[in-house]
Structures are given as C-alpha cells and as structure tokens.
C-alpha cells in the first residue's frame, strides 16, 4: 500500500512494459523487484563488466539504475497514454558500490500535472550487510497523451 | 594547451591507464578522444543495447560517460600516487540522446587540495549536426598518496 | 549582443519590472548590472547583515542572487504574458564569499517551450582581484499567458 | 532521540552559538526550533521583505534557511574544535512558499570523517495546513581542529 492513487488502472502492466523496453537495463542486468503506485525497487547483481578502476560498480551504472527506478515510479502515476522524460537528477555517492547485489528504491515525493519530483536510494548487500551507497533526487516531466506518444519529443524536456 | 599545470609529469599515462581499468567504459563502448591537463573528451557510438524505451541512449549511460569524463579530467591534475572519487554530480537533460555518435567534454572549474569541481557537456552527432544534449556539474575528492592506494577507501567519500 | 532572439520586444522593461517586484532583492541589496536577451548580471555590495559565522556572505544569500539572475535571464526570452518559476537548482561553493563587492552572471543554456536550463557564476571582488566563488545550474519553467498571470500557480511547478 | 552519537558533549552550545553568529539568519528572521544530534529544525515567519514578484517567499531565502539547517545539523556531529563548510546543495521547489510560517527540517544522512551528506525539507504553514514546498540534498565538509579555526579557510572547500 502506498499513499498514491494511480490514474491508470493498467499502471502495473504499462510501467513494467516500459521498463522492459529499456534495453540498457537488460545490458546492465537490472530488473524490477517491487512495483507499487509511486514506489519502485530495482535489483542488480554484481558484474565485473560494470566496474570502475577499483573493482566496484561504476557510479554511472548506479545512477542509471536510480534514474530508471525514479522513471518507472513516476510512470506508475501517469494517466493513460502519457509519456515521461527525465529533466534532471543529482546523485550523491556515500560509500563504495561494493557487494554481491544492489537494490535501488524510489519514492515519488510530489506528483504534479507537469512535473514529478522523485527520490531514490541505492544499497549494496555485502556479506549479508546492507549499506546505503547513494542517493538521488530528480525531476521528471509528463508528456500528455498525444504528445507522449510522439517518439521524437520523448526525451526532449526543454 | 590548457590553463592547468599538471602536478604529475606522467599524468597522461596514468589517467589513460585509470580509464582503461574502468571495465564499465569498455562495456558501454566509451573511449578517450582527447586528454589534456584538466580537459578530457570521451566518445561513444550509438548502440541499441544502451537505449531506453524510445530507442535513444539511456540518460544513465550518458551520465556514466559524463562522470568518467569528469573523473579522468580531475585525475590529470592529481599529484603522483593520489586517487580520486566522485562525491556528487547533477545531470540536466536538454534533448533526446539521438544520434550515431556522442561526445562528452569535461573541463575542471577549480582544482583544490581536497575537492575538485568539474563541468561536462554531452553532444549527439546526428545527420552531421551536433546538438548539446546534457550538462553535468560534479564534485570529486582527492585521496592522498597512501590513502589513495587503499582500495577499500577508493569510492567512499564520507 | 547575445545569440538569443527575444520573443517579447518589451523584454527589457518587463524583466526589469519583475526584478524590482522581488522585495527580497532589495532587502539583500542586489541590483541589475547588465541585462541582455538570455544573459543577466546582478551586483551586490558586502554587508555584515548577510554574513555567516566567519564574516563571509552566507551561501544562501549567494544562492538567492544566483537564482534571481537565472530567473531574470530566463524571463528575457519568454513570450509576452508568460510567467516563470524555478524548478530546481544546484549550487557549488568554490571559495569563501569574501570581498567588497559581488557579481552574479547568468547565461541561458537552452530555452525550450516549457523548460529553460540556465547556468550562473558568482564572483567576489576583493582588493581588486575577482575570484570565482560559486556556480549554479538550474531549471526554470514557463507558465503560458493566462496561467502565468494566475498568482496562485506562480511558484508551483509540480 | 536520534540515531547519532555526538562526538562533542558541548555540541548543543557550540551549534547554537555558531548559528547565532550567522547574521544573515537574524536578517532573514530565522531561528532554531529544535536541535538534536544530526537533526535540526529552523523556523521563519512570513515577511514581505523576503518575497519574490508574486508575494511568496523567494526561493533563495528558502534555500538559505535549508542550507543553515543542514549546516547546523552537520555541526552537531563534529568533534570539538572542528569547523564546517558547505560544498554544494541542490534545492527542488515543489510548491509556492505561501504561508504565515515556515519550517525547515534537516537530517544527516551520513556523517563521514571528511564529508557529510544531509537532507532537508521546507514546509509552509498556511491557514493551519502544512505543505511540503522544497527539498534539499547537500554535501558539507569538516575542517579539522586547527584548520577549522582558521577563518580564511572557512568557506573554501576546494
């Protein structure tokens, strides 16, 4: 249960479908762990292919997962036919992304007619201990019906 | 020629080597296009494996490239033996990441004893036209000699 | 001369008028030093009333000036009747705000139909030397004609 | 009760004293409402002198209060003799700053040896209803003992 009421009764199918169309998520090995209105968790296993120079997961990969988490959480609250795009986000990195498995948890802070503000946190599970490794705050924009369907507008917020 | 004087005469070899140890960059198909003290350009070709739901490059992939560009630019100004880590960054997305090829250009704004502030921009080349698609401003932290070499501190800014 | 074409021929009078309606700017002693389409400079003298615990100007005051600079720069490019609001900004603080006089310079990076991205820098003049002390990157939103005139929407981006 | 253990038993007196030395806070009419280790609330009454063009509190004033809230919250966890400075912050503005009274609530997310990450929220009380109007995520830096006491370093993070 979340405090948000989805506008689209099919939110679950459509949000899941949108995530699955993100081929970058497949490439990075990221999947949906939980999906509620306004709240989405993603999960990712450690992979050497995603590391920086010290063998930890690259901050950009962590950010990609956090961005998708926020995007899908925002998407669950959109009316039917609407698209969304990311306007901006900030990531703070708190600890090395060291672990066997990673969790990314987004919560919508405010869902407006045009803009949504979303916050997300990344956690690393290492030897059975979960550590907060990064935070994100981001802004996303709704593209109403007809416009949301126009592919060429889809990621052009300004 | 840039306005920065590198502290480490081997900055080019060491910065290049650090970049090549980032396996995530290889996975994402990102390479160094230009490297000067405090200024680094990276390049990436379009790949369907890196896309979001509309076939454009995922904002997280763009951010990963911008973060590495800032990281390597910061690294060129470090003294010998020092490591660096990303503290935070903000990305603004201005236009869809649509194109055949992408460029990421970082410039150090201020290089301090402990913290460096760096700005970077991402451009998409599409049908021969280059478009600014994203901006980043970020903070990076130097880890002095011995500490920089300690792998377990490497990405833990706080 | 700037690279932007104002949509409203009266941009100068209207942007100046909007600035002068910001009573906080008067309280902080901030004034317009230069105003061109998409580019605005503000100026402020040092005042003990605006300081933090070490006698330098408070980071929040620097940010207030940077935000207004971006706001007015964005405003110069709006069509007649439109309002604007700040969606978000990030400030990086590079050096102490120590000096007799301060300059705040904003440049619009991209002016879109709905969103504008703007960057600004703050400089301190101290003993005849100008130092970069802070950077801002921000997002602003246009409120079209009728809506822009509705006071109650004026600062509610989401 | 908070989850943080202050390193300095005099944290309350010293944090309060530091806040009271911020003359900008007095100018803006901001005071401490609650102070615990790692958690600080500030309060401010509406004043016409702090408004933007529509009569709401200026986003820069809201940000100044959020920045001080984070600064004092961070300060409560510092060892004796240490100083702090703000490295960066991002503010998202969610709703107009309309109300008779405003509250600013900061919580430290992670307190590290060198860097602290802090989050804060601003609320407007209007006709008995409290509305979330802004969020901040920021990074602050500790200046150890001797260095923290050097006034000229005090706000120069880089």
Q: What is the DSSP string of B5-43?
A: --SSTTHHHHHHHHHHT-HHHHHHTEEEEEEETTEEEEE
Looking at residue C77, what is its pLDDT?
Answer: 97
CA–CA dist D112, D110 (Å, integer): 6
Asked if C91 contacts C136 with a C-beta cutoff of 8 angstroms, the reply is yes
Per-residue pLDDT of B17-49, as tens digits, reads 999 999 999 999 999 999 999 999 999 999 999
CA–CA dist D143, A49 (Å, integer): 37
Judged by CB atoms closer than 8 Å, whether chains meet at D114 and B111 is answered as no
Per-residue pLDDT of B123-156, as tens digits, reads 999 999 999 999 999 999 998 875 555 554 444 4
Closest Cα in chain D to A120: D137
Q: Would strands C115-126 and C129-143 be described as parallel, antiparallel, or unpaired? A: antiparallel
Of C94, C110, C132, the CB nearest to B94: C110
Residues ≥6 apart with Cβ < 8 Å to D63: C60, C63, C64, C67, C91, D89, D91, D134, D136
* Mean pLDDT within A120-148: 91
Q: Would strands C115-126 and B30-36 be described as parallel, antiparallel, or unpaired? A: unpaired
* Tokens (6 digits) for A96: 């090395």
Which of A3, A110, A139 has the most D C-beta neighbours within 10 Å, making it the best mutation to test the interface with D? A110
pLDDT value at A148 more than 60: no
Half-sphere exposure of D55 (CA within 13 A, CB side): 7
CA–CA dist B63, B91 (Å, integer): 7
R_g of chain A computed on alpha carbons: 15
Judged by CB atoms closer than 8 Å, whether chains meet at D50 and C86 is answered as no
The pTM for the full model equals 0.94
* Tokens (6 digits) for D43: 């309060």
The Cα-based distances of A91 to A19, A102, A119, A133, B74 in angstroms read 21, 16, 10, 10, 18
Q: Hey, which residues 40-69 in chain D have their CB within 8 Å of chain C? A: 48-61, 63-68
CA–CA dist C72, C90 (Å, integer): 17
Of C92, C94, C137, the CB nearest to B92: C137
Residue A3: pLDDT band (50, 70, 90) is: confident
What interface predicted TM-score (ipTM) does this complex get? 0.92
Degrees to nearest 5, angle at CA D106 with D105 and D109? 145
Asked if D120 contacts D144 with a C-beta cutoff of 8 angstroms, the reply is no
pLDDT value at A113 more than 50: yes
Judged by CB atoms closer than 8 Å, whether chains meet at A115 and C157 is answered as yes
- Nearest-CA neighbor of A67 among A118, A23, A130? A118
* Tokens (6 digits) for B73: 């630019």
Residue C2: pLDDT band (50, 70, 90) is: low
CB-count burial class (<10 Å; 0-12, 13-18, 19+) for C128: exposed
- Percent of chain A clearing pLDDT 70 (strictly above): 91
Residue B62: pLDDT band (50, 70, 90) is: very high
- Nearest-CA neighbor of C39 among C90, C62, C5, C9? C5
Closest Cα in chain A to C114: A158
Of D53, D54, D64, the CB nearest to C63: D64
pLDDT value at A85 more than 70: yes
A27 touches chain D (CB under 8 A): no
Looking at residue A157, what is its pLDDT?
Answer: 54
Looking at residue B157, what is its pLDDT?
Answer: 54
- Nearest-CA neighbor of B89 among B112, B77, B106, B101? B106
Which of A30, A93, A106, A131 has the most B C-beta neighbours within 10 Å, making it the best mutation to test the interface with B? A93
- Chains A, C: CB contacts within 8 A come to 39
pLDDT value at D148 more than 70: no
Judged by CB atoms closer than 8 Å, whether chains meet at B132 and C109 is answered as yes
CA–CA dist B7, B10 (Å, integer): 9
Looking at residue A145, what is its pLDDT?
Answer: 72
C135 touches chain B (CB under 8 A): yes
Q: Phi-psi bin for B55: left (phi > 0), alpha (psi -120 to 50), beta?
A: left
pLDDT value at C24 more than 50: yes
Per-residue pLDDT of A28-70, as tens digits, reads 999 999 999 999 999 999 999 999 999 999 999 999 999 999 9
Judged by CB atoms closer than 8 Å, whether chains meet at C141 and A88 is answered as no
Of D55, D66, D156, the CB nearest to C95: D156
- Chains A, D: CB contacts within 8 A come to 34
Judged by CB atoms closer than 8 Å, whether chains meet at A109 and D119 is answered as no
Size (chain C), residues: 158
Q: Would strands B115-126 and B101-111 be described as parallel, antiparallel, or unpaired? A: antiparallel
Residues ≥6 apart with Cβ < 8 Å to A17: none
Q: Provide the b/e sequence for B122-131 (b: ≥16 CB within 10 Å).
A: bbbebeeeeb
Per-residue pLDDT of B78-128, as tens digits, reads 999 999 999 999 999 999 999 999 999 999 999 999 999 999 999 999 999
Asked if D46 contacts D99 with a C-beta cutoff of 8 angstroms, the reply is yes
The Cα-based distances of A145 to A11, A108, B51, D19 in angstroms read 15, 21, 22, 50
Residues in D closer than 8 angstroms to B110, CB to CB, are 158
pLDDT value at C155 more than 50: no
Looking at residue B153, what is its pLDDT?
Answer: 46
* Mean pLDDT within B61-78: 98
Size (chain B), residues: 158
Residue D3: pLDDT band (50, 70, 90) is: confident
Q: Which residue has the higher pLDDT, A137 or A144?
A: A137
Residues in D closer than 8 angstroms to C94, CB to CB, are 156-158
* Mean pLDDT within D87-103: 98
Looking at residue A153, what is its pLDDT?
Answer: 47
* Runs of H (alpha helix) within C29-142: 59-75
Region of poorest pLDDT, from A129-133, B11-15, C23-27, C150-154: C150-154
A92 touches chain B (CB under 8 A): yes
């Amino acid at each position: 249960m979340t405090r948000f009421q989805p506008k689209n009764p099919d939110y679950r199918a459509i949000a899941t479908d949108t995530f699955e169309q993100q081929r970058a998520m497949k490439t990075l090995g990221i999947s949906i762990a939980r999906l509620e209105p306004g709240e989405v968790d993603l999960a990712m296993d450690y992979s050497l292919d995603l590391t920086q120079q010290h063998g930890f997961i690259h901050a950009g990969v962590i950010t990609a997962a956090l961005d998708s988490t926020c995007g899908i959480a925002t998407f669950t609250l959109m009316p039917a036919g609407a698209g969304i795009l990311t306007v901006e986000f900030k990531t703070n990195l708190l600890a090395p992304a060291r672990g066997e498995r990673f969790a990314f948890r987004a919560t919508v802070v405010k869902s407006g007619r045009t803009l949504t503000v979303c916050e997300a946190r990344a956690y690393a599970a290492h030897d059975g201990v979960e550590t907060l490794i990064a935070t994100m705050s981001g802004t996303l924009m709704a593209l109403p019906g007809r416009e949301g369907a126009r592919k060429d507008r889809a990621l052009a917020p300004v």
